[in-house]
């Protein structure tokens, strides 16, 4: 019986063995094909990475290679980064968030690199004597400018950092960005009227961006500025539990600058104005007037951006000259027929007579084309850096909303 059973089962066992052998052969073949495919993929990936390295531009400030921008401009907030990001569309809130984080890191790194030294260490001007001579000449024309003993927020104008409250000073300075004093004052008074007074931060934050945008519309770039202000209020409340940045009174100059420029929409000039006027520190802010005039005087390389010029002048202008010289240069830039934007050289300006290129160690004189370019950059029409980036985001969101409708 056992022999018969074995004989009967033998064919089935042989079939199972053949099936097993065939399956193992198929598996081996698949494994071999998979290994070959994996190897081919690795070769392809390696080749693509090699080609990618050839295509990539130079490393950015964080050591991350980025596509080379088509152009480089001057501006208040890292224009090389700005131009690069204008070449790619905003795709999502996550993309915008990481973009903002990257810009924040760039701003902080750029500021830290030159917070203690000039980006042009071999550039000879201005010397301390140059600064004192310019101060003396300008004071004769426009009157002396001295730092007030106490900071009092103006009630009939926006000011630029003029407030004993750091948060209020920052908001006022943001309202003054890229517009005239008249327009920024109109926007500030309209905002106060809308929310029932000054410093109504909770009402502003809770009222939302659209309401604030409408309130400050007369100041220009309202969509951008309203978003910047709302973001600052939200971040300040989330971080400190109150709508206040007055802890910066106890911070070092460098730490105060870093905290302010970490906010999106706040550049070195805006932060420097708050440092100079509100915190009453020695900081040399460079606006369009200061940038233009220091170019005419040969106090900066002709191609230096505002950020580079500010870093250079903040490093070389004596601390006791930073407040009066800044205020006098701004005043002079608005009033002098030769030194204002688009002014014509008639050789009557005592300041320019004192700092002719021939007496400036071979410094190249700023030509009329640069003066014309400066005219186009006047605060009423210039749209710079993060503000352009934010405006782009706002328009993209509006387009998306229209598409959804």
Active site residues: 269
DSSP one-letter code for 245: -
Please provide the DSSP assignment of 295-312 as one string: HHHT-S-TT--HHHHHHH
Residues 6+ apart with CB under 8 A from 334: 289, 340
Do 315 and 322 form a contact (C-beta atoms < 8 A)? no
Q: How far apart are CA 172 and CA 155, in angstroms?
A: 12
The two tokens of residue 236 are 């300040």
DSSP one-letter code for 263: S
DSSP one-letter code for 264: T
Which residue has 């300008």 as its token pair?
138
Q: How far apart are CA 269 and CA 76, in angstroms?
A: 7
Which residue has 């009630």 as its token pair?
155
Q: Is 71 left (phi over 0), alpha (psi -120 to 50) or beta?
A: beta
Please provide the DSSP assignment of 47-112 as one string: HHHHHHHHH---B-TTS-B-PPPS-----SS-HHHHHHHTTS----HHHHHHHHHHHHHHHHHHHH
10 Å CB burial of residue 180 (0-12, 13-18, 19+) is middle
The two tokens of residue 101 are 């984080």
- Residue 163's DSSP bridge partners are none
- Residue 59's DSSP bridge partners are 65
CA torsion 253-327-371-128 (nearest 10°) is -70
């Amino acid at each position: 019986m056992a022999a018969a059973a074995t004989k009967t089962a033998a064919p089935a066992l042989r079939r199972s063995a053949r099936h097993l052998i065939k399956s193992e052969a198929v598996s081996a073949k698949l494994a071999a094909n998979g290994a070959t495919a994996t190897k081919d993929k690795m070769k392809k990936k390696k080749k693509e990475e090699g080609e990618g390295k050839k295509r990539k531009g130079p490393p950015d400030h964080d050591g991350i290679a980025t596509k080379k921008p088509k152009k480089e401009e001057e501006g208040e907030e890292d224009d090389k980064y700005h131009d690069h990001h204008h070449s790619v569309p905003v795709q999502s809130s996550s993309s915008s968030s990481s973009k903002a984080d990257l810009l924040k890191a760039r701003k902080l790194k750029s500021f830290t690199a030159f917070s203690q030294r000039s980006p042009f260490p071999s550039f000879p001007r201005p010397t301390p004597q140059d600064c004192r001579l310019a101060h003396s000449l300008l004071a004769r024309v426009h009157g002396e400018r001295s730092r007030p003993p106490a900071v009092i927020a103006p009630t009939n104008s926006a000011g630029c950092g003029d407030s004993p409250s750091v948060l209020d000073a920052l908001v006022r300075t943001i309202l003054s960005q890229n517009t005239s004093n008249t327009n920024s004052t109109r926007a500030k008074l309209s905002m106060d009227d809308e929310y029932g007074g000054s410093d109504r931060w909770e009402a502003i934050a809770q009222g939302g961006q659209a309401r604030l945008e409408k309130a400050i519309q007369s100041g220009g770039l309202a969509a951008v500025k309203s978003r910047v202000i709302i973001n600052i209020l939200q971040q300040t409340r989330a971080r400190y539990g109150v709508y206040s940045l007055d802890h910066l009174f106890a911070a070092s100059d460098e730490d105060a600058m870093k905290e302010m420029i970490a906010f999106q929409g706040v550049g070195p000039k805006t932060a420097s104005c708050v440092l100079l006027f509100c915190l009453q520190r020695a900081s040399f802010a460079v606006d369009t007037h200061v940038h233009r005039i220091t170019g005419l005087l040969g106090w900066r390389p002709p191609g230096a951006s505002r950020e580079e010029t500010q870093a250079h002048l903040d490093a070389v202008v004596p601390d006791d000259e930073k407040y009066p010289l800044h205020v006098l240069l701004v005043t002079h830039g608005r009033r002098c027929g030769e030194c204002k934007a688009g002014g014509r050289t008639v050789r009557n300006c005592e300041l320019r007579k004192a700092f002719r290129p021939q007496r400036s160690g071979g410094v190249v004189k700023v030509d009329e084309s640069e003066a014309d370019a400066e005219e186009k950059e006047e605060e009423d029409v210039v749209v710079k850096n993060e503000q352009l980036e934010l405006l782009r985001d706002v328009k993209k969101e509006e387009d998306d909303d229209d598409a959804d409708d």
